[in-house]
Amino acid sequence: MKLNDSQVGLEFRVAEAKRLGGGLLNRKTVVALLEGLEVKSEVLRDAVRAALEKLKAAPELVKMALESGAPVPERLAALGGLRTLKPAEVAGALVPLLSDREAKVRAGVAQLYCVFGAADAEAALVKALNDADASVRYFAVLACGALPGAKAAVSSLAASEKDAVVKDALAQAMRSR
């Protein structure tokens, strides 16, 4: 059964997430659990989070996210799992993803740093403020907004930024200081 299958009752999907959490930690189990994070049900998301925590899945999620040959959606799902778990001890290991060849992955890890661990990636986030992709810049601005050491870099981007959404993020970051 897929955890994101809306044809299956929520209570059965929650039970499946709990069952998976009691099993062995492997890629197949982690991928199956990550599907549950796509569902808008907080009950299911909480069950998936608990299962991932019980499995101590953070290192496997980091490995999946860093695997450059893996499909981008799988890598993004791994980053989503890490955003859900917020394991501070892995934040530094994800810094190389801010230089990944895939813009969606760079944006995904910048988004993760909006939730936790931005201080571990400050220099790379400041560099990401000049990324060619607007989504990366957007999340980098939001992540840098909480970093006192990135204030000058965020301020200097305000004058040259052309993308309206990134400009809005810059305005938010400047107001939150």
Ranges 4-13, 15-24, 118-127, 156-165, most confident: 118-127
Reported confidence tier of residue 173, pLDDT bands at 50, 70, 90: confident
Shared domain check, 172 and 102: yes
Shared domain check, 82 and 11: yes
Question: What is the structure's pLDDT at 90?
Answer: 96
Shared domain check, 52 and 107: no
Shared domain check, 141 and 105: yes
Here the CATH number for the domain that contains residue 114 is 1.25.10.10
pLDDT in tens, 52-110: 999 999 999 999 999 999 999 999 999 999 999 999 999 999 999 999 999 999 999 99
Q: Are 56 and 21 in contact (CB under 8 A)?
A: no
Question: What is the structure's pLDDT at 158?
Answer: 86
Shared domain check, 170 and 134: yes
In one letter, which amino acid is 46? D
For the residues 44-48, what does the mean pLDDT come to? Answer: 95
List the one residue out of 115, 60, 110 whose CA is nearest residue 83: 115
Shared domain check, 101 and 85: no
For the residues 48-53, what does the mean pLDDT come to? Answer: 96
Domain boundary among the residues 73, 89, 105 is at 89
List the one residue out of 151, 165, 90, 152 whose CA is nearest residue 121: 90
On the question of pLDDT at 177 being above 70, the answer is no
The total number of structural domains that make up the chain:
2
Domain boundary among the residues 89, 105, 132 is at 89
Shared domain check, 1 and 85: yes
On the question of pLDDT at 176 being above 80, the answer is no
Domain boundary among the residues 89, 119, 149 is at 89
Question: What is the structure's pLDDT at 65?
Answer: 98
For the residues 108-120, what does the mean pLDDT come to? Answer: 96
Shared domain check, 80 and 59: yes
The overall average pLDDT reported for the chain is: 94
Shared domain check, 117 and 76: no
In one letter, which amino acid is 125? L
pLDDT in tens, 139-158: 999 999 889 999 889 989 98
Question: How many alpha carbons lie under 13 Å from residue 16 in its C-beta half-sphere?
Answer: 20
Domain span at residue 18?
A: 1-89
Question: What is the structure's pLDDT at 175?
Answer: 81
